[in-house]
Structure 1
Amino acid sequence: MPYTPNLKALARDLRNHATKVEIILWTKLKGKRIGYDFHIQKPVDNYILDFFCHELMLYHSLL
């Protein structure tokens, strides 16, 4: 998926400084534990999506 290159470093920083709730949710979603591949803090176009599943086209963003 296309993304704005300068968002990659920001997304990495957000992953490294996740909130407690994000960490809890991510432990439930990572590794295809529910049957789908999820990404956390994924740069897409000009945005950073908090959680993203390409197969389901499911995402969450605060913006």
Structure 2
Amino acid sequence: MHTCGNCGEFVSRDFVRVFGNEHNEVVGCPACMNMREVMQGEGAARRSQGVRWTRA
């Protein structure tokens, strides 16, 4: 089962395939970011970059 690396919310295998990074990780999903951010690739940013998003 895939989960968001930021908020822990379930994400589908297809969501990870489309919006995840090369390590099959997602660090942002529609539960913790808006879809514009996800579609711009921010959901695939590496955790090692120290980036964490929260919804205001």
Tell me if TM exceeds 0.5.
Answer: no
Structure with more of its chain in strand, by fraction: 1
- What TM-score does the superposition give when structure 2 sets the normalisation length? 0.27
Rg (Cα) greater in structure:
1
TM norm structure 1: 0.25
